[in-house]
Structures are given as C-alpha cells and as structure tokens.
Structure 1
Amino acid sequence: MIALDIKGLNVWFGYAHDRVDAVKGACLEVKQGESFGLVGESGSGKSTILRAITGLAPHWSGSVRIEGEALSGAKRDRRFFRTVQMVFQDPYASLHPRHTVDQVLSETLHLHGLDNIDKRVTELLADVGLGQRFRFRYPHQLSGGQRQRVAIARALAGEPDILLLDEPTSALDVSVQAEVLNLLTDLRARRGLTYLMVSHDLPVIAHMCDQLAVMRNGEIVEVMSSDTLRTGTPRHEYSQELLRASVALQ
C-alpha cells in the first residue's frame, strides 16, 4: 500500500512579480511502513513539501494522496490529523512555554476525541522514554532531547500512521541526537509507522531511511535507495556534490 503519493507538486509563496516557486513538479511515493528522506541544501524546498501536506503552505497545485485519499486546499480536518502528524525542528518553539507536559499531552488527546486521558498520558511518556517525574514539568525545565521526546509523544497522541519529521535532531546536542534517532527507529518498528523525514545530514538519512530524494532549487533531481547513498554511487552530479561535501565535513 502507498501511504503517501505525491505527483507534480508545485508550492509557491506570493503573487505576480513577488511570487517565489519553492517546489516545482515534485513526485514521490512512500510505501506503508517505509522511511523516506528528503535531502538538499537550505532553501531547496524540503520542508516546504511537509508544510504543503499539513496545510501550513496553502498555495499549491498537483496531487497529494494520503493512504489513497486526495488532499485539496489548505484546510485539514480531524481525520487527517489522526493519520498524519508532524515533528518540528525546534522542540522549544513548538511547545507552549506555560503548559506542563501533562497539559500538552492531555489537551492533544482531548482534541483527538480520545478518552482515558490520564492512562494515555502515562503510556505516551513511557513510549518516548520519559517517566512520570517529567509529567508536570514545564518546557524550560527539560533538556533539548527531553523536549523533543515530548514533541514526539504529542505527535503520537492521536495514534497516527504517518509522521513528518522536519530536521528532528538538528537543534539538539550531538550527544543526544543518536538517542532521539534510535527512539524514532524503535517507534517505527513497534507502531508500524511511515516516516517522511527532512534532513541536511546525509549520514542521518542513510541511517534512518530506506529511500531518499535529493532536492535542488525546488526540484527533485534524483530518487535513490539508502544503499546507493551508503556505497557512494548516486547518478546525479548534484547528489555526488552533496555526498562529497558531507564526507569532507566528517
């Protein structure tokens, strides 16, 4: 089954002379249970694809289907958010600074129309490796890795099938990045999740993803397997440049 099917996606900002075409004719398929990566330089359109899917980038054309259901416009209903959730790059910015972890998770569960909220909050915290002692803490009382775990728990609250991951570890210290990536790998295996993951870090994508698309100036220039990336044999010249730059930084 195809969990996410995108054909001819165009996304733009502004109008007339001020129009900027951020994504141009993007096509990709993500199978159910697969982890698919989007890589490229800053401004290449990676995150804009995620934002178009969730309705945060309202001006788009083309075809986007979620588990066979076509999306249109920018409005997303409760059923969509029970299927698709997004984890943002900066966990501190995505959490309300005056809400405890308990409030964040309880309100999310309530919005999804779920019951047994107290039990579900406990289970969500356990799922992301946080104990009960974190339940009534505020975001500023948590480390970056702990905040991202809360953000992941919030995304899981509605029991979605698909997670959109927008640079989920780039704002974290190197020492905790691997812990969060391993958590995401474990959650995908246990819950049968499908991931669409944006990252500028090729080793992260090689570790996390089965397939990946390379983006440049709003266009997908190559789709390849992670094995192709790991063996250093991409076809497109730009993909080869990204790989060389990544190796040089290590």
Structure 2
Amino acid sequence: MTLAIEISDLTVWFGEGAARSNAVRQVSLSIGEGESFGLVGESGSGKSTVLRAITGLVPSWSGSMRIMNRPLGAKRDRTFYKQVQMVFQDPYASLHPRMTVDAVLSEALKLHGFGDIDNRIDRLLEDVGLGKGFRFRYPHQLSGGQRQRVAIARALAPEPRILLLDEPTSALDVSVQAEILNLLTDLRAERGLTYLMVSHDLGVVGHMCGQVAVMQTGEMVELLGVEDMRAMKATHPYTKHLLDSSLRSVR
C-alpha cells in the first residue's frame, strides 16, 4: 500500500527558552493512499496543530513528515499545494466577503496554472452540489452549508490527492452537517482522495474514517480502528471518557 502521509515523532512548539510550550509531542502516524484518518480530542489537544504543521503554517517543529513519499522541509512549494489542500472550520471566515464564488474559484485555478477556467468552475460547482446559479453570488448571499461547499470546491480546484479537514462541519447547523459529510464521502470515493480529518465529534469521525488517533494535551494516546471504537474497545482511560461522553450526548 502506498502511503500518502507519514509523520514520525512530530513535535511542535511555540515560544523559545523558558517560554517554550510544546503543543504537539512525539506524534507518529501513517495514512495509506485513499484512506480517511481521524484525529480526535478535546479543544487544545493539539490535533489542529498537526494539520498546520503539515501545511507549513507553524514554523517550529521537529521530527519528520512525508507526503506521497516526499519529505517536507521548512517551506512548502507549489507542488505541495497541488497535492495537499485544506478545508477550514469556519466557512464564514475562509471566504473573502468581497469576492464572488466565481472570483474565489478563478483565483484558485489560475494560481495553479489551469486554463479553461469557465468550464472548470461549472464542473467544480456541480461536483459539490451547487448549480451555475451560485457562480456570481457573494458569501453573504449563501447559507453556511453553501459556503462550505464553495470552500470544498476551492480545495478541489488544484486536483489534490490529499485533503486536510479541520472540523469541516462544526460551524454548521446539525441538519446541514450530514449533507456535507455525505458530500465529502462521495468525493473521496469518486476521486480516490486521502483525508486527514480533525474533529472533537466521535460521531463524525465514526461516519467518515477507518482509523482514529486520540490526542490528549499534545500526545497521541491511542490508535484504534473505527470498528473497535464503535464496539467501545478502547484501552486508554481518556478514550473511554470521550466515548462515554459521546454516548451520553446522544441519549
């Protein structure tokens, strides 16, 4: 099996000297091409920091990271961003309020050197369940779910192989969350995408992912298959606490 993402002994810190704080400590994980992998944990556990380290948004890290067998250094080049794209948590903040959907998608396509912009935009909108009628709307004219569909279309524009999903449904109404998760599931199947998804919601991860890593205060405390998670076969006390809390929330 080809590995899409390999992370070994990743440590991420902020500040220096006596002020240094380790946000992530010695995290290792491997994700096969085409798989969907979940990182779960409460707020502040370091799970989103792992995504930011992959994308180069945090400069201070040690360990090793490889994408499609290519080692990552201090900088990310255009080749990296053609392969790896990120969908952020808040669709209200991730789209420029003064740019139409057309302008957002055109910019992404031109940045990565694509021609045939008109047809590509129409196809992207169709792929995420929006019609041509949305093309010249501004973000304030869209619902939260529609904005997130545009954000997903923008991420798909460079034809990446890997999507990093940072709580992609947590800012949405419950009724819309399932629609976005089903869209992401369909896109992964159609395009052979690899997902690394961050969530505090075990139900979301159980729906989307085959393997789950549990993070607590910057450390990965347990790795388990989603079937074991559903069967409550966790061994670490913190994972058991998360599962118990999740069950209580749906009762």
Interval of TM-score (by shorter of Structure 1 and Structure 2): over 0.9
Residue aligning to 1:24: 25
Q: CA RMSD in A?
A: 0.5
The gaps in structure 1 that reach 5 residues or longer are none
Distance 2:212 2:233 in 1: 13
Residue in 2 that maps onto 1:46: 47
Report % sequence identity.
67
The within-5 A match list for 1:64-103 is 64-73=65-74, 75-103=75-103
Q: Distance in 1 between matches of 2:53 and 2:234?
A: 27
**3-state DSSP of counterpart to 1:160:** coil
Report the count of equivalent residues: 249
The aligned residue for residue 35 of structure 1 is 36
Structure-2 residue corresponding to 1:240: 240
User: Matched residues in 1 for 2:98 and 2:20: separation?
Assistant: 37
Counterparts of 1:89 and 1:17, CA distance in 2: 32
TM-score, reference length from structure 1 = 0.99
SS of equivalent residue, structure 1 residue 28: strand
Letter of the 1:151 counterpart? A
**Which TM-score applies when normalising by structure 2?**
0.98
CA distance in 1, matches of 2:71, 2:112: 21
> How far, CA to CA, are the matches of 1:109 and 1:18 in structure 2?
41
SS in 2 for 1:204: helix
C-alpha separation in 2, matches of 1:147 and 1:19: 37
Whether 2:175 is the aligned partner of 1:169: answer no
After superposing on structure 2, the runs of 4+ consecutive aligned residues of structure 1 that deviate more than 4 Å are none
SS where residue 223 of structure 2 aligns?
A: strand
Aligned-partner Cα distance in 2 for 1:229–1:203: 10
How many angstroms does 1:58 deviate by?
1.1
In 2, the alpha carbon distance for the partners of 1:148 and 1:238 equals 31
Write the distance in 2 (CA, Å) between the matches of 1:10 and 1:114. 36
Match of 2:105 in 1: 105
Deviations 1:23-63 (A, max 9, x none): 00000000000000000010000000000000111111100
**Partner amino acid, structure 2, of 1:23:** V
Q: For residue 65 of structure 2, give the secondary structure of its aligned residue in structure 1.
A: strand
CA distance in 1, matches of 2:166, 2:112: 22
